[in-house]
Structures are given as C-alpha cells and as structure tokens.
Amino acid sequence: MLTREQKVFYQENGSLALEGILSQEELKILHETIDELVEKAQGLETPNSLCDFEPVPEGGRKVVRRIFHPFEQAKCFEELASHKTILDAVEDVIGPNIQIHHSKLNMKSAGVGSPVKWHQDLPFFPHTNFDLVACLIHLDDATLENGCLRVIPGSHKKGPLDHRRDGKFIGMVTDDLKKVDLDKAVDVPLKAGGMVMLHCLTLHSSAPNRSRSPRRLLIYEYRASDAIQLRGTPNDYMGRILRGEAPTTVRLVEGTFILPDYPIGTNIYDLQAEYGG
C-alpha cells in the first residue's frame, strides 16, 4: 500500500519510484526464465511471436531487444502480474477494479540496447479515460550509464500529446514537444527489484545502453476496468481481471483523441526508427 505522501507524489508528478518490490530470490527466477527465452530466440527469424532483435548482432549472436507479452511466455511472469504488493500499489492509483492491458520486457542489452524517445503511452492505445498505469519492474540496477528511465514530472497534466508527423503516428511526441519544458527532465536510477509506476500520460524516454551492464525492464500496463480501449494492438489476455470486478459501466473523459494509424503489432522501436530519424 502506498503512503498518503506517495499517492500525492504520483498525482502531482505522474510517476513514482518504489524500492525493494522484488526479493533476490524472485529476481533469480525471472533472470533464469529470461535466459531460457533468449536462448530459444537464437533459433528464430523475425518476425516471430516471442521477441524482436536489435538491428545489429553481437559476436555472431542475435541480441534480443524486446520479449513480447511475457505474461504469456512463462508462468512466473503471469503470476508476477498479480503480485500483492504491485496490485496494492496499482489499486491506490487507479482504483479497486484492475485489468491487465499488456506486458513487455525491454532488454536494453549491454553496449547495444536501443534508446526510446520521448513519448506518452496512452496515444498508442487511447482509452475512454486516463486510469491506466504502467509498472516498470527493474530486473537490473538501472543507472545513467545503462539507460535508466527519464521522465518529465507533471507532463501527464498536459493531456494526450500529438505523436504524428505529416499525419502519421510515429511513436514519439512531435510538434507538441514545444509545450513541454525538457529542462525539467529527471533521470530515475533504481536498483534491481524496484518499480516505477508511470501514469499513461507521463512523458518518458531512455538513452541507449553504452555500458557493460544490461538494463532489463519488465513492464505491466494495468487499467481500471471501466477504461475501454478505442484503438490499439489487441492481445489474448487484454482485459483479464486481476483484482476486483468486471465492468458494468464505462467511464468517459471529455476530449478529442487521435486514433493512431500504425499497423497492428508495430513496436515502438521500429516506429521511432523508421519515421523519427
């Protein structure tokens, strides 16, 4: 459960870093499972349903960039999505009826891990309200050197920003970046086992990993059950209730939302690289 101060911090800043959510034993199981999945990936070509790869191999091996849908890839990831400490914190920010929206594992491997440019999450999958939160579970120590998360505190209050160039959704904020003071960006280094809670409208990014240490982030996006998706890539577990009750009503916030036009399944790295330059 979050303290009153932590809840206020999240509401004001749109993010909150929490230390020590996972134990060393829990981390060990996740690390071992990832090692197995990475080994399995060596035999796969792209596209495949397990993962994608960094553009350039290293030492004759493919480097996994992202494991898609870890929730479906191994039991330990599915179980972790319902970890009591995590769901208690999620409940404190989006209410008691909680669904999983999607999951992913960003590997950001030592030396070659790709950057992620400034974006908000919600424009990829607009919903009828803004009660979605990403929990970014740190599987390694995240530092300035290996590309820890960066956020713009308070940017969630700007509402959904435009992520299009020449009318096409490109997975990063374009003209609307001038509405934001980038000098206010804050790095969020965190030890393995910690977790960052990120409001779906908080602007965030991360630098490439030029260090010798990996920076793996396991991400679960949760939503309040009465937030209904308007556009975005579907998945088989989206909408599974992890706590509370099924929705009997839909909640709408006022506004005009851009419907992203990216082809179903396109990931953020490819969108940003292809169009963002």
Contact residues: ligand AKG, CB under 6 A = 106, 108, 116, 121, 149, 204, 206, 217, 268
Q: By C-beta, is 108 or 199 nearer to ligand AKG?
A: 108
Residue of this chain nearest to ligand AKG (CB atom): 206
**Following CA atoms 107, 113, 119, 123 in sequence, which dihedral angle do they give, to the nearest 10 degrees?**
-50
Q: Does residue 91 contact residue 243 with C-beta atoms inside 8 Å? A: yes
Q: By C-beta, is 69 or 204 nearer to ligand AKG?
A: 204
| Least distance from ligand AKG to the Cβ atom of residue 211, Å | 14
State the Cα–Cα distance between residues 84 and 90, nearest whole angstrom.
10
Supply φ then ψ for residue 211, to 5 degrees: -95, -175
| Least distance from ligand AKG to the Cβ atom of residue 91, Å | 23
> Hey, what are 218's tokens?
């396991």
Q: Within 13 Å, how many C-alpha atoms sit on residue 6's CB side? A: 15
State the Cα–Cα distance between residues 209 and 197, nearest whole angstrom.
22
| Least distance from ligand AKG to the Cβ atom of residue 106, Å | 4
Residue 90: helix, strand or coil by DSSP?
A: helix
| Least distance from ligand AKG to the Cβ atom of residue 92, Å | 22
Q: Does residue 89 contact residue 82 with C-beta atoms inside 8 Å? A: no
Q: Which of 188, 207, 230, 227 is nearest to 14 (CA)?
A: 188
Q: By C-beta, is 73 or 206 nearer to ligand AKG?
A: 206
Q: By C-beta, is 62 or 216 nearer to ligand AKG?
A: 216
State the Cα–Cα distance between residues 56 and 72, nearest whole angstrom.
27
Residue 257 burial class via C-beta count within 10 angstroms: exposed 0-12, middle 13-18, buried 19 and up: middle
| Least distance from ligand AKG to the Cβ atom of residue 252, Å | 25
| Least distance from ligand AKG to the Cβ atom of residue 121, Å | 6
Q: By C-beta, is 149 or 152 nearer to ligand AKG?
A: 149
Q: By C-beta, is 213 or 244 nearer to ligand AKG?
A: 213
| Least distance from ligand AKG to the Cβ atom of residue 104, Å | 6
Q: By C-beta, is 87 or 151 nearer to ligand AKG?
A: 151
Q: Does residue 245 contact residue 226 with C-beta atoms inside 8 Å? A: no
Supply φ then ψ for residue 171, to 5 degrees: 75, 10
